Amino acid sequence: MTFNKQLLELIRHLNCVDELITGTARGGFKIRRGRLRPFPSGSDKLSWFHIEGSMLNDGLYIRGEDTLKDEVFEGVVRILRIEPHLIALAKEILEFNQKNAPTLKSSERFGTYSYTNAARADGKPAGWAEVFASRLRPYKRMFSRVRV
Containing 52, the helix (H) or strand (E) segment is: strand 48-52
- pLDDT value for 112: 80
- pLDDT value for 120: 59
Tell me the C-alpha distance between 148 and 67, whole Å.
Answer: 30
Residue 10 has pLDDT above 50, yes or no: yes
Share of the chain above pLDDT 70, in %: 78
> Residue 118 to residues 21, 96, 114: CA-CA distances in angstroms?
34, 11, 14
Tell me the C-alpha distance between 79 and 46, whole Å.
Answer: 11
Count CB neighbours of 26 within 10 A.
13
What is the pTM assigned to this prediction? 0.79
Residue 122 has pLDDT above 70, yes or no: no
Tell me the C-alpha distance between 48 and 81, whole Å.
Answer: 7
Report the range of poorest mean pLDDT among 8-17, 27-36, 80-89, 115-124. Answer: 115-124
Phi, psi at residue 36, to the nearest 5°?
-80, 130
Tell me the C-alpha distance between 12 and 8, whole Å.
Answer: 6
- pLDDT value for 41: 79
